[in-house]
Structure formats: structure tokens, C-alpha cells
Amino acid sequence: MSGNSLDSSLTVLLVLVVVGGIAVPAVDVAYLNSSSETNKEVLQWAQPSNEMKPTLQNMMVISAAHDGTDVLFYGTRNPTNEDEVLFYVSNESSLRQPPPGGPNWHSRLPLPWYLERVNATVMSTSPEMNPTELREDAPPIVIAYSWDQEALAPNLPGYTVYQHDFKLWDEEIVIFIDNTHPADHEARE
């Protein structure tokens, strides 16, 4: 075998190894197993299901037309792990500086992406907040995990509740929307 043939063979082999090393994981993540728990660092798993899109549209219409706090994330603790705080960010203004908000902000994904598009004003409550405090001054949109729905519903009269699957791993959220605020009525149907 001549030197040129050996060089060419090694070059082809090297290209195949490099391309295969990139292509195989990319195909696995993007096409074959994109929603696997092992691929959770790829944030596409957080996209809302199609059934959530009309509710998101309502939220965006209301947020764009409303002054003041538009959305309240009801901070909570995971019932299966009391150390895990979800939705609560102690300093919402910290989200304006990269990197955004830490792990509690990440529990909100993908919703912040949609709310940011309409420049929604977002707040959150501490997990220790008594839900009766919402009766006084709740914004037009309140987002919570479904396990808090029973405690919140009596304190949000005049709100319609929408329950949705959230992300892919058996999470459910509820979105309370105040019926007195203008919304995209086509999105409600």
C-alpha cells in the first residue's frame, strides 16, 4: 500500500469517526429519543402540548393589554420532595440578568418564553404564603401546580381554571384566568 493510499484511508476513517460521533447522538436526541429523561438538558422537552396553546394565547392577550402585575406564579413545594421549591423566585428582577433565575425559574419553563414575548410583568409567591391572601389583589393570571388547585380555587372567585399537562414527566399545572379581563375569545373555545 502506498503512502498516499494509507493517508487517504486514514483521512476517510477519521472523517467517518468524527461525523459518526456527531451524527449518532444528534439523531438520537433530535429524532429517535428526544423526550427521554436522559436528554433533559435539551430543553425541547419543556414545550407545551398543543392543547395548552389556546390558554397560552389568552395569557398573552391579557398580559399585553393589562397594566401592573400580569402573572403570578404560586410558589410551592413538591409533595414528594419538600426540599424542592417550584415556581418561586425570591427576586424576580434577578431574572433580567443572565443567567436567569436559577433552578426555581427553570421549573417554570417553557412559560417564561411566552410571557417574555408580550413583556408580561411576572411575580411569584413564597411557598409559605397563605392562599387567602390572593383574594385581595390577585393579578389576572395565576399559575400553580395542580396539587394547589383545591386551596387556590375558593380564593380566586371569578376565575376560570384551565388544567394542563406540563412538560413530559407527569407534571400538571393549573392556570387561573380572571373572567373580567379581555381575552382572545377564539382562544378560549
**Report for 63-67, 127-131, 134-138: range of highest mean pLDDT:** 127-131
Beta bridge partners of 86: 76
Confidence grade of residue 101 (pLDDT, cut at 50, 70, 90): low
Assigned C-alpha cell, 152: 387556590
Of 137, 144, 166, residue with least CA distance to 45: 166
Q: Which helix (H) or strand (E) holds 55?
A: helix 53-65
Question: Does 35 have pLDDT greater than 60?
Answer: no
Confidence grade of residue 1 (pLDDT, cut at 50, 70, 90): low
> In the prediction, which pLDDT does 178 show?
94
End-to-end CA distance of the chain: 73
> In the prediction, which pLDDT does 89 show?
87
